[in-house]
Structure formats: structure tokens, C-alpha cells
Amino acid sequence: MGTGGVLSCLLLLGCGLSAEEMVAVPLEIPSVSQPSREEPSSSKPPPTQPPPTQPPPTQPPPTQPPPTQPPPEVPQGRSWFVSTKGRDDAAGTREAPLRTIGRAAERARPGEVIRVLSGVYPEELILGSRGSGAAAITVRGEGSPLPTVAPGNTQRSTVIRVQGRWNLENLRVDVGGHAMFAIIFESGSSGSTLSGSELRSGTSSAGVLVDGPKGLTLRNNTIHHFIKPGEDSHGVVVVGPSRDVVIRDNDIHHNSGDSVQCQAGTAPATGLVIEDNKMHDEGENGVDIKQCDGVTVRGNTISSLPNTAIRAAGSSAGEAVVVHLSARNVTVADNTITNAGRGISILEDAAPPAHIRVEGNHLRNIRDNPQGNGFGIRVAGGRDVVVVGNTVEYSANYALMLAADGKRVTGLEVRDNTLRGGADAPLLRLGGEGFRPDLVLQGNFYSLGGVLKADGVLELLEGPLALFRADFPGERLTLSDPDKLQVWREVLGVDSGTALIE
């Protein structure tokens, strides 16, 4: 897929846009129907099954570090025990455990805990609502290895469907290569959490689908190897009108799509926080923000994109972060990005993104892979875009690509960035004046020997400025000494307070 990423849209609910702020996407995109609402399966205990075959590579269950923040509440009710040696007509105590998680979920009440012991549980769970305002029910895996929930009926669309307020802790969900989601959080699951768990090995469109809840937290999970051959399968997809979703301290990798994608459903998703995650080795992008409002992407480590062993080269530019399709109020800050096809891209597709802030990110080794990429921070359309305090080191193409794609960028402010590279390294390409009408370019640092380019600059080299014509072969200027930087400033008239660094 192209860098615009519109064809990577999961479209599980359709990419609907609001009437006032969204512009319809003028492309023909295949429709994927919303997964059907499933009825609970029979309470009859399923037969004991061996663990499902693990597609390579096999990873051990993740270690469980202490959570970065306390859970919202401590369950006070009784505990229900579940064991592969239990029976569903038992009392549910430690001495007389139940056999299935589903049976325990039927019997548990708000504030209670379902304690699932080690073993494999071949069942599909529908975790229903206990009513508005009810306390969460906790499903907690215990023992080593973690208990594994695996599909029993592979005709279903998901292994765990959450319809009420539930906390899922220390579980392993192994989809076993089937075309199923690991977990779907529906609109009624507001206030739920998923923590300390491993989700793996599905071939549907995502590992986790967040479909409309408010106040959901995904924390300290490992989500990997969701691979749909030749197509997208994302780690986590957040679909509007989901609100106030937090994705923090997860390790998301080796999926055929993006680590995290945010998209509109019946309305934009709002208030999404993607923070302190590790995202790497994906077939497409790290974070893809489209048609969403109020998104923070902060403190993540994003690397090794795209993974062509999972997805053929050319389906994506392998962008660490891409913001497009009329996304609004997005902050991309303090991320570490290495070995990506592109670093951070702000793109105008059907409509320009607006109010975007890119601050304090560190990008290194941005590669020209697939060919024609290698840009550090690229602003190709948008309104009120601020790029401040970033460091870009050793990008194969321009470290900063500003309004140089034939798209108008208004309110573009670029300050205090550091651009490093070797001799003749492409540092900055600036679009023609008509595409950046009110540009602020100030206080940036350029490495000695690097190259700056300004589209249309040759038209300026007339009259008194004609003496600088030899400095701009092909509209490019090489910063061979401090005097060259002064030439750049004088000719462009927009770059102030800049300096050279070794």
C-alpha cells in the first residue's frame, strides 16, 4: 500500500466521517462487515485438548513486571477457581474448581475474581454486562505457564468478546493461526482493562479490536504474529467513537499491518494515548492515525519497519508514525525511531490534517527501503503543523521534507531541530513559497557538509542575488563552510537563528 495508508484502513465498521470535520475518501475500498454479535456457546464443558500448534517463532509467555499504575480498583468479592481438572457443576472453590472460564463468567458477580489456573482452555468467551455502573469482574491467570485460552469453535470471529466491564489479567490468548480476533472490546466494555497478557497468532484483520468503549486501558501486554497473508493484520485497532483509550507499555511486533491503527467508525475516535510501547518488525507501520481527534503518541520505541519477511516490499513505506486523512489535534512527542522506511509523516490525503505537533523525537537511520523513501520528518499538507526540538540523524533522503510534495501547508512552524549526517547528506528540502505561505523556520542546527534544497530558488537568483547562482546547482546548496549557510539565509529570507554543527 502507498504511504497514504488509506487502503490499509481496516474498515471493520467502515471509515465513516463526521459531516462537519471529515471529508469523504474518494477511493473504492473493499468493505469488511462488522463481526456478528455472538451468542454464548453451550455451557457443556469442552473436551480437554492439547495445546494448539505454535507457528514459528514460538515465544515464552512475557514476564510480568509490576504495573506502571495501580489498577482502578481492588476486587473485594469472592474468588471463583477454574482448572482443567475441574467440573462445571462444582462449587468453584480451590478444592472444587470449575472446568471452564465461561461457566465461571456466568456465575461471577461485580467485584468478584475468576482465578484461572495453568492449562489450556479451548473456549470462546462472551463476557457480558452486569449493568451500567457495575464494578468490574476480574479474570486473572495464575501459575506458570500462564493459562492459555484457545479457540474451541473456529467458526466464531473472536476468542474473547468483552461486552461489559471486565479486567483481564495474566492470560495467554493463542488464536492458533485461525481467522479470528484475539479480543474485541465492544462499546459496553467501558472501564475495562487488559494487562500482563500475551496475544498471538491470528489471521484476521487485527489482534485486538477496540470498538466503541470509553476509558479502556491496554497495559503491559505482548501482541504479536497476527499475520493475514498479503493483507493487513494490525496489533491493535481503535475504531470511533471509542474514547479515552490508553495503550501503554506493550510490546507489539511481527504483525502484517501496523502496531496500532486509529480510524473513524460512526464518528472519530477521540482521546487516544499511545505511550511507552515497543513497536517493531511490522509488515507496515508503527502508528497510523487517520480520522481521529485528540491523539497523543509519546515515549514509544519504534524500529525495524517494514518487515519484508512478513509483507512484500511496496505495500507500505514502513512509517514509524503517519498522521493523515483529516486527523486533528495530534501530538507526536519524545519517541525513539530507528531503521524505518520513513520516520514521521504528516500527509494530506482526502483532507488535510490539522493542529499537529511533532516535538522532541529522536530519529536515526531512516532507510530508503522500499526505494523512494528514507525521509525523517515529512510534512506534505496540513494546517497548523509545529515541528520543534527533534533530532534526525542519518536519513537516506531529506531529514526534513517541508511542503515539498505539491501540497499547501499553512501555519507551518519549524524550530530548534538538529539535522545530522555525513558529507553530502540531504538535510532539508523546502517547497516553493506558494506551498508554505507563512513558514517560520528558526533556530535549527545543520551538520557541516550537509545539503539543503529549496524548490524554485533559481527564480529568485536575479539582480543582486544573481551572484549566488553558482551556489545552487540543481537548487541544492552544500554547507561546506559557514558562509554557505549565510548564503542560504540571504537568498531564502526565511531561515533565521540557524547554526552549523560538526
- Which residue in this structure is represented by grid cell 479515552? 244
Distance of CA 297 to the CA centre of its chain: 8
Residue-wise pLDDT tens for the chain (502 aa)? 433 333 334 433 333 333 333 333 332 323 333 454 454 443 334 333 333 333 444 344 343 444 444 444 445 579 999 999 999 999 999 999 999 999 999 999 999 999 999 999 999 999 999 999 999 999 999 999 999 999 999 899 999 999 999 999 999 999 999 999 999 999 999 999 999 999 999 999 999 999 999 999 999 999 999 999 999 999 999 999 999 999 999 999 999 999 999 999 999 999 999 999 999 999 999 999 999 999 999 999 999 999 999 998 878 899 999 999 999 999 999 999 999 999 999 999 889 999 999 999 999 999 998 788 999 999 999 999 999 999 999 999 999 999 999 999 999 999 999 999 999 999 999 999 999 999 999 999 999 999 999 999 998 888 888 889 999 999 999 999 999 999 999 999 999 999 999 8
Q: Which domain holds residue 301?
A: 6-17+143-501
User: Is 36 a member of any domain?
Assistant: no
Whether residue 113 is contained in a domain is answered as no
Instruction: Record the cell numbers describing residue 234, joined without a space.
Output: 494490525
User: Looking at residue 372, what is its pLDDT?
Assistant: 87
User: Is 258 in a helix, a strand, or coil?
Assistant: coil
Q: Write out the three cell numbers for 484.
A: 554557505
Residue 45 lies in a domain: no
The conformation of residue 16, written as its DSSP 8-state character, comes to -
Is residue 426 included in any domain, yes or no?
yes
Q: Does 30 fall in a domain?
A: no
Q: Which of 246, 214, 323, 234 is nearest to 282 (CA)?
A: 234
**Coil, strand, or helix at residue 85?**
coil
Number of domains present in the structure of the chain: 1
Does 105 fall in a domain?
no
For residues 346 and 356, the answer to whether their CB atoms sit within 8 Å is: yes
Contacts of 428 (CB under 8 A, 6+ apart): 398, 399, 400, 402, 419, 444, 446, 452, 453
| CA–CA dist 208, 250 (Å, integer) | 12
Query: Given this model, what pLDDT does residue 76 score?
Result: 57
Distance CA 251, CA 279 (A): 6
Q: How far is residue 407 CA from its own chain's centroid?
A: 25
Query: Where residue 190 sits, what CATH number does that domain have?
Result: 2.160.20
User: What is each CA distance from 314 to 196, 229, 259, 360, 394, in whole angstroms?
Assistant: 34, 15, 18, 29, 22
Give the predicted TM-score (pTM) of the model.
0.86
Instruction: Give pLDDT, residue 314.
Output: 79
- Written as nine digits, the cell of 309 is 519477511
d(CA 199, CA 221): 8
232: CB partners within 8 A, 6+ apart: 8, 10, 205, 256, 257, 258, 283, 284
Residue 355 is assigned to a structural domain of this protein:
yes
Is 23 among the domain residues?
Answer: no
CA 7 to chain centre: 16
Cell numbers representing residue 451 in the block: 545539503
